[in-house]
Structures are given as structure tokens and as C-alpha cells.
Amino acid sequence: MRRYGAEEPGRLASAIRKLLEVGPAYFARLLLQRVVPGWLWLANRGVVLELDTAAAADDAIAGLRWGDPSEHALLGAFGHPASTLAARFARGDRVCVLAPDGRLEGYAWFHPDVYEEPEVRTRFRMRPGEIWLYDAMVAPARRGEGLYPRLLAGAARRLAQQGVRRVLIYVDERNRNSVRAHVAGGAKPIARISAAGLFGWVRVRDSRDASSRWLAPGRWYDASAGSGSGGSSGGPA
């Protein structure tokens, strides 16, 4: 077993930065997720947020644009391998990047149609004019500057120009810094979804209809992504 020590100062420093960034509750959850597989034990709760693209703040930010599938080196600067990037573009995803002077400082990935969130065993179905934000990051050197809310608002304005009316996001509610950053970018909480279970059996609760349902192994809870009631449980797509 590898241990943190003098030979791995970078790894230890990274762990400390992450702890300070997300707080002890979410950090503990991330550590537990590394050692306990989701099929064995699941206990997550999060908030679904909705961002009205027409109401996004009009704050020009230099270097913000849509990413191109050919930019593997730029888009992979935060660690995504080329194969992951190619798969995302192949399924219709798009990415808004903040890259002044050709340096990646932040990004936000969006997915249309249906998005599966394994943390709460829920399949979110987009309605016309909706899109799902599932992966976003700001360069470590730029964190704490309020950059992400501006990136999010800028991406929302660009999506509005393409006919997208709402951006939907799921965030673990223990990751309070992330929740605050999305709210600062104009997003509003519209639902809370939790999932807990053992050995593949999971109970999902959706605050929009104040109900819960048990899911057998391999089955998902189908939910509309935006405001409104949740759907019924469904099997694999």
C-alpha cells in the first residue's frame, strides 16, 4: 500500500488543498468513494440547480469560447485523456473553455438529451431547450477569484444564443463551495435528491414529489431535469 510521505510531497499537498477547498464532510465522502464501490454501499444527497440562460449576468470575460474537438492538448490540460474527450464530442457534448492566450484556465462541459448521475442512481431527462452541466473546473492558480460564476454566466449567455433556455446541474450538497459558486453564477436550487442503499438496492428520494422509491440492482430513477415532478423508476437504457 502506498502512503503519503516525504517521497510524495505533491500528492500530500494536493490532498490538503482539496480538503481546504471542499471542506471536511465532502472530502471524507470522496475518500470513502475511493475504497467502497457504489454497488456495495451508496449514501449520497445532492441539490439540482437550474440556471435561466436569459437571466445570466452580462459580464464580458476575455478568452471565453466554445472548444473544438481538435484541441486535445488544450482540453486535456487538466487531466482528461484524448479518448475521453473524443467520446464526449462523439455523443454530442460541447465544452465552453476559458483560454486567454491559449492557456486553459477553466471549462464547463454540457450534455443534451439524457444524463445519468450514478451518485444518486438517477437518469435526468432534458426537455426541449434544456441542457445538463456535468463537468466544470477552474485552474488551481485561479481559484478563489470568483472566476467560475463568470465562466458559468458567460457559457449560459452563449447557450441562450443557440436556443437553450435552461442549464441544469447536480451538486453534492456537502460540497458547499461548489453550491455557492453555482448560485453566484445565477443558478437556483429546484430540488434535492438523495440515494441510499446496500448491495445494489437503492432508495431514491426526490423532494419535488415528496416521495421515495426502491430500485433493484441495475435500475434507475427516471426524472425530468427541470422544475416539476419526478418520473418513475426505469431499467438500463
51 and 93 assigned to the same domain: yes
144 and 66 assigned to the same domain: yes
Confidence of residue 3 (pLDDT cuts 50, 70, 90): very low
- The residue range of the domain holding 13 is 1-35
Confidence of residue 149 (pLDDT cuts 50, 70, 90): very high
Q: Are 110 and 92 in contact (CB under 8 A)?
A: no
Nearest in space to 235 (alpha carbons), one of 126, 132, 116: 116
Q: What is the pLDDT of residue 237?
A: 43
Residues 6 or more apart from 4 whose CB is under 8 A from it?
Answer: 11, 12, 15
| Residue 145, domain CATH | 3.40.630.30
31 and 49 assigned to the same domain: no
95 and 206 assigned to the same domain: yes
Q: Kindly calculate the radius of gyration of the chain based on its CA atoms and give it in whole angstroms.
A: 18
Q: Quick check: 31 pLDDT over 80?
A: no
122 and 27 assigned to the same domain: no
Q: What is the pLDDT of residue 38?
A: 66
User: How many structural domains compose the chain?
Assistant: 2
Confidence of residue 39 (pLDDT cuts 50, 70, 90): low
165 and 104 assigned to the same domain: yes
14 and 53 assigned to the same domain: no
Q: Quick check: 229 pLDDT over 60?
A: no
87 and 51 assigned to the same domain: yes
Portion of the chain with pLDDT greater than 70, in percent: 79
Residues 6 or more apart from 237 whose CB is under 8 A from it?
Answer: 114, 116, 123, 220
pTM for this one? 0.83
74 and 17 assigned to the same domain: no
171 and 133 assigned to the same domain: yes
Question: What average pLDDT is seen over the chain?
Answer: 86
